[in-house]
Amino acid sequence: MGEVRSFRSGSQGEPSSSSGMPRRLAAIIVGDIASYSRLMQLDEEGTHNRVKRIERDLIAPSIAEHHGKLVKTTGDGFIAIFDSPVEAVRCSIVIQQNLLGRNALLPKHSRIEYRIGVNLGDVIVEADDVYGDGVNIASRIEGIAVPGQVYISGAIYEQIKHKVVCGYEALGERKVKNITDPVSVYRVLPDADAVGRTRRRRENILIFLLGLTLLVIASGVLWYLLAQPRSGGSEQAAAPAVSPAASPKPSPAPSEAANQTASPPQPLPSAAPSPAAVPSPAAAPTQAAAPVRQPEMVAIRSGSFAMGSNDDPSERPVHQVTIKAFAIGKYPVTVKEWNECAAARACAFQATGKDDAPVTNVSWTDAQQYAAWLARVTGKPYRLPSEAEWEYAARGGTQTKYWWGDRLMPGMAACKDCGDIGAEQPARVGSFKPNPFGLHDMGGGVEQWVEDCWHKNYQGAPTDGSAWGEGICASHVLRSGSWKNDALYVRPANRNSYDTNVRYPTHGFRVALSP
């Protein structure tokens, strides 16, 4: 689910407490469908109908039965508020348990699974929406949840720990975007886990019976062969008719990458061909391997600029930075470019989507895997850009709020309130005008990883354009905002962070090159 609007005082278009809008303390549920874009790509109409049925037959009734209010649905998710944290968590468990039953007979690739995050916070309530940090925290907790599970904040946990009969697993403190203090997160361990264990036990019994059947068949074949009279002559007759051939081990299917913890970097392929890659004399001569598709790069000249802004505390203080010449991708890395790395077994998963769309659901660790693989196979020093390099390139020599000026203009970027483009997935790269440096999608589209560790502001930041490697390196910096974010995130100065090894559906990246 896209980031819900943060409450920032003084921001244009944001609700303020002086407007007379009602505030209340509420338990907020944010739910989002895992791998929604992939499901829509497989069966758009069928997925849409199934989601609407789930909303009508399960989600809305469950919220009403637990005395909550369904604030809105968002195509691939929903937001609800409750007076009682206990009822909010019970409702979340009921939804997940019912979905578990609905999915039991479906193949894994076609299951509709929700991630659910629950938080307690002070919010601003409108007729058809709800705003505030309390909602943003719930949204971020949902974003790190495992599909099919319920994650809650520490504030919720303190209210329900002796009232809801279930288990809890502490996941520690998490840094949440645009929230000063880290948030304690817990995983709820309801009766749904027992259902899962029962299903796994049933599957294990079936596997055992299948193995037993195969063993009986194999024993019968062996008995038949041994019972045959031996021919008295040649050794050739005594040899088995067919020599057993070692069947190659099947390669694992690509892992599904929806808001999961990223795999550690995989070993890069050796430059020397493996024995299996050498053709036999009888085989036809193989063609030379196709060259690796390299991202189109734009050379950026050296220069200085004022980095940061006074729009948000994380963007202060504004400071002068000198940038050395470098090159940066003209576009974010695309699905096609990423999948070449996946095909080489150097990247952790096979991306879905159109070839010319930016790759999404990428963790910082995933992005590093791609850059390392590209550097290896091309011999060029590909890497992630530093945060300073990214902002310098995004500004394109300007110092205005957006690279095109101080006012939001429709048709200049892909974001939630940037104009006509609204989709469940980002537009293809290059769909919008380039900035003065000739770079596309340096605001909106996909959030983009940079090299730097997260720091809550620029106190002590490097002034030479290098990456800031010291700090909270459990999180790294994201730039650009996405198609699901507000226009506030499209500004070149905007900066956010996310967990280093966790994937999120709006996260992508572009690469840079040292001279």
Domain ranges of the chain: 17-193, 297-513
Compute how many other C-beta atoms are within 10 angstroms of the C-beta atom of residue 306. Answer: 13
Q: What values do phi and psi take at 56, rounded to 5?
A: -75, -45
pLDDT digits (tens, 9 = 90+) for 152-202: 999 999 999 888 767 889 999 988 777 778 899 999 987 534 444 444 555
What three-state secondary structure class fits 264?
coil
Residue 235 CB neighbours (<10 A): 6
Residue 265 or 317, more confident: 317
122 versus 213: the higher-pLDDT residue is: 122
Whether 81 and 127 have beta carbons less than 8 Å apart is answered as: no
| Cα-based distances in Å from 432 to 196, 294, 424, 476, 484 | 46, 21, 17, 27, 16
CB atoms within 10 A of CB 87: 18
Give the position of tokens 């817990």. Answer: 186
State the pLDDT at residue 444: 87
How many C-beta atoms lie closer than 10 Å to residue 18's C-beta?
A: 7
Contact 110, 82 (CB under 8 A): no
- pLDDT over 70, % of the chain: 78
Task: Let me know if the fold of 17-193 is the same as that of 297-513.
Answer: no
Q: Which SS3 state, helix, strand or coil, does residue 316 take?
A: coil
Q: Which pLDDT value is given to residue 498?
A: 84
State pTM to two decimals. Answer: 0.50
Strands across the sheet with 507-509, in order? 496-499, 472-479, 447-454, 507-509
- Name the token pair of 191: 């009766």
Encode pLDDT of 281-299 as tens digits.
333 344 445 678 899 999 9
Architecture of domain 17-193: 2-Layer Sandwich (3.30)
Q: Is 426 in a helix, a strand, or coil?
A: coil
pLDDT, averaged across the chain: 81
Nearest Cα residue to 140 out of 107, 120, 172, 117: 117
297-513 fold: paralog of FGE (formylglycine-generating enzyme) (3.90.1580)
Q: What was the pLDDT predicted at 479?
A: 96
Whole-number Å distance between alpha carbons of 133 and 261: 25
Stated as kind and residue range, the H or E segment containing 368 is helix 364-378
- Orientation angle between helical segments 85-103 and 192-227, nearest 10 degrees: 20
